[in-house]
A and B are shown apart, each in its own frame.
Chain A
Amino acid sequence: MLEIRWHSRAGQGAVTGAKGLADVVSTTGKHVQAFAFYGSAKRGAAMTAYNRVDDHEILNHEKYMNPDFVFVIDPALVYTTDVTINDKPETVYIITTHMSTDELVASQPKLNGKKVYTVDCIKIAQETIGRAIPNTPMLGAFMKISGMYDIEFFKESMKRILAKLPPKIVDANMDAIQRAYDEVK
């Protein structure tokens, strides 16, 4: 069982990202689950989304999770929420920030000694898609860190999932995914 927790703000696309990832993974024959806590359900409010991936049917519906990966797609949430809650020694963090990994860990001591990777999904999204929607770049970074799928296969799969969007936006998302894949450290 692979478990992922997303930290996001309502409106940043964490649910869409989690569902998109689940969709891609499902096409490879694995079982998936994608869900979210909406909290106060207001745009901008802190929220969490979740993925479970397994070779067997997923029966567990508890919201409690010891995540293998933690995605933080809004830079401020590292300070205003506890992104390390219920983690385990091997939990891997991919965090959106303009800082380097060392600077980030220095600014948030809770991340000390943890496996932390950083990438500026906000900036990438702004420069490619034109809006601060950091969900798809986070998935590009995840492909790099996890080695889950070949990046070309992943982009092709995401193209199908995003097919309802205008072609320009789809292309911009592909650029964002590729850039985050290349830039995550």
Chain B
Amino acid sequence: MADKMELRDVEVWDGNMAASQAMRQVQIDVVAAYPITPSTPIVENYGNYLANGYVDGEFVMVESEHAAMSGCIGASAAGGRVATATSSQGFALMVETLYQASGMRLPIVLNVVNRALAAPLNVNGDHSDMYLGRDSGWIQLDAYNPQQAYDLNFIAFRVAEDHEVRLPCMVHQDGFLTSHTAQGVKTLDDDTAYNFVGEFKPMNDMLDLDHPVTHGVQTEEDWHFEHKARQHNDLMTKVFPKIEAAFDAFEKLTGRRYNIVETYNTEGADAVVVCMGTSVETAIEVAKELRADGKKVGVIGIRVIRPWPHAQIAEALKGIKAIGALDRSSPNGTFGMLYNELAGTVVNSGESKVLTNYVYGLGGRDLTKVHLREIYAELLANAEAGKPTTPLQQLIGVRGPKISFH
């Protein structure tokens, strides 16, 4: 039996500590890990809890991130509660196995501390790795601060392990800006936290020797499409109701409210920015200041990236005239992911909206309040004109001559 840890009501934790404490409280059976900056402290802390008797489980040190996720897949298929953490190049090396995990419908939780992808080498944060995972069949939740990195881990386990869902789930947080930024985190006591997620309920586990199963079968053309169709269907139809229910239950328990799409001041707004990670909070602060000056601006934060909350975003964007899609990842030859996804969401809305794209913050480049004020000024001009007054795509905060396209 694992020892309990006494926590204060508010602990000053960085995002890594918050995520690792949540992993401790849900009593994971197996963590297979190959640590990488900036996510290292998550598995390091977990190893510490295990060594000091705060967790009943196994920590498996492996030889690569590919092996880490492979170990997680084996342990999850065997019937354990499983999680790990990674970033950047480590995430990239995991990609092949991410598709195995989701296709095998294994409810693994992966904490992704977002970091830029080399070259050039850079340990700092952007959303390149998060974007790389978006077609892998996982649920993707995004935290904007350490409190949310803590809370969303509980949501992740509860939703992923639900027998109607059985899909792996990533919890994203911004490298350094969240992972290494200490802030006040309201804690749950160990029993309350564990009970919110509940005891792990195995499904088709290999250790059920009375019901032998083969995991990871080959189907070829014969049944592959049907399996993928089923997985896509379940992502499209089964995940949101479960996330909604988990958010409701979590609010009841803690008073903290989460939404599939987070909106700030979108009601009656002329212009909004749509973004993810810590940028959402900085944008809220700027929008608040601009509102005080009578500017009708708001913020939309994407909480659930996959499945893509098409209906919720369409609803949130009703009546809004100008949208700025803020992408923290180099699109490398097209528009940013948020721009393209939002275009798909609003094109049939029946309303005329001006959508423009800002690429920002690559490799940890600061997104300042000054940048955001400039973006809002451009968006308000777009709203006023009813058409783009700027190029459709602009890179902001980059040194050298102004760079923009279309």
Instruction: Give the interface of A toward B (CB within 8 A).
Output: 15, 18-19, 22-23, 26-27, 31-36, 38, 41, 58-64
Instruction: Give the interface of B toward A (CB within 8 A).
Output: 10, 12, 14, 37, 123, 145, 174, 176-177, 180-184, 278-279, 281-282, 284-285, 366-370
User: Given A59-B282, A62-B366, are A32 and B182 neighbors across the interface (CB < 8 Å)?
Assistant: yes
Query: Chain A nearest CB: distance from B285 CB in Å?
Result: 4
Query: Chain B nearest CB: distance from A157 CB in Å?
Result: 11
- Which B residues lie within 8 Å of A32 (CB)? 12, 182-184
In whole angstroms, how far apart are the Cα atoms of A35 and B181 in the complex? 4
- Which B residues lie within 8 Å of A27 (CB)? 10
Q: Are A33 and B368 in contact (CB under 8 A)?
A: no
- Which A residues lie within 8 Å of B10 (CB)? 26-27
Q: Are B12 and A19 in contact (CB under 8 A)?
A: yes
Q: Are B278 and A61 in contact (CB under 8 A)?
A: yes
Q: Are A36 and B180 in contact (CB under 8 A)?
A: yes
User: Given A22-B182, A34-B182, are A59 and B281 neighbors across the interface (CB < 8 Å)?
Assistant: yes
User: Given A34-B12, A35-B176, are A59 and B183 neighbors across the interface (CB < 8 Å)?
Assistant: no
Residue of B nearest to A20 (CB): B12
Question: Which of A19, A23, A60, A61: most chain B Cβ within 10 A?
Answer: A61
User: Given A23-B12, A26-B10, A35-B176, are A58 and B183 neighbors across the interface (CB < 8 Å)?
Assistant: yes
- Which 9 A-B residue pairings sit nearest by Cβ, starting from the closest? A61-B278, A35-B181, A59-B281, A34-B182, A23-B12, A59-B285, A63-B366, A62-B368, A19-B182
Q: Are B182 and A60 in contact (CB under 8 A)?
A: no
- Which B residues lie within 8 Å of A31 (CB)? 183-184
In whole angstroms, how far apart are the Cα atoms of A154 and B366 in the complex? 33
- Which A residues lie within 8 Å of B279 (CB)? 61
- Which A residues lie within 8 Å of B180 (CB)? 15, 35-36, 38
Q: A23-B12, A34-B182, A60-B285 are in contact. List 14 more A-B contacts (CB 8 A).
A: A31-B183, A31-B184, A32-B12, A34-B12, A35-B176, A36-B176, A38-B123, A38-B176, A41-B37, A59-B281, A59-B284, A61-B174, A62-B282, A62-B367
Q: Are B281 and A61 in contact (CB under 8 A)?
A: yes
